[in-house]
Amino acid sequence: MARSEAVVRAQKKYESDKVERIIFRVPKGKKDLIDSHAAEMGESMASFLNRAIDETMERDKTK
C-alpha cells in the first residue's frame, strides 16, 4: 500500500528534526553478519549499532 503524501511529509519532518544520519562502509558480507546478529538479539540493525556504540563509549570512559 502506498504511503500518502501527508505521511511522507510527516516522516521527512520528523527525520529532519530528530535524526542525523551517519553512513559508513563495511567489507562485503559484513553487513549481512551485522544484520543477522541484530536479528538474533531481537533488534533492528540501527538499534543494535546504536547500542554497540553507546556501550563502547561508556566502557571507554572507564579507561
Q: pLDDT tens, 6-47? A: 999 999 999 999 999 999 999 999 999 999 999 999 999 999
Q: Which three cell numbers stand for residue 28?
A: 562485503
Q: What distance in Å separates the CA atoms of residue 24 and residue 26, rounded to the nearest whole number? A: 7
Q: What is the DSSP letter of 1?
A: -
Write the CB contacts of 3 (distance below 8 Å, at least 6 apart in sequence).
11
Q: Residue 51's pLDDT band (boundaries 50, 70, 90)?
A: very high
Count of other CB atoms within 10 angstroms of residue 44:
12
pLDDT of 2 strictly over 90:
no
Answer yes or no: are the C-beta atoms of 12 and 3 closer than 8 Å: no
| pLDDT attached to residue 27 | 98
22-63 — its CATH code?
1.10.1220
Domain boundaries, the chain: 22-63
pLDDT of 63 strictly over 90:
no
| pLDDT attached to residue 40 | 97
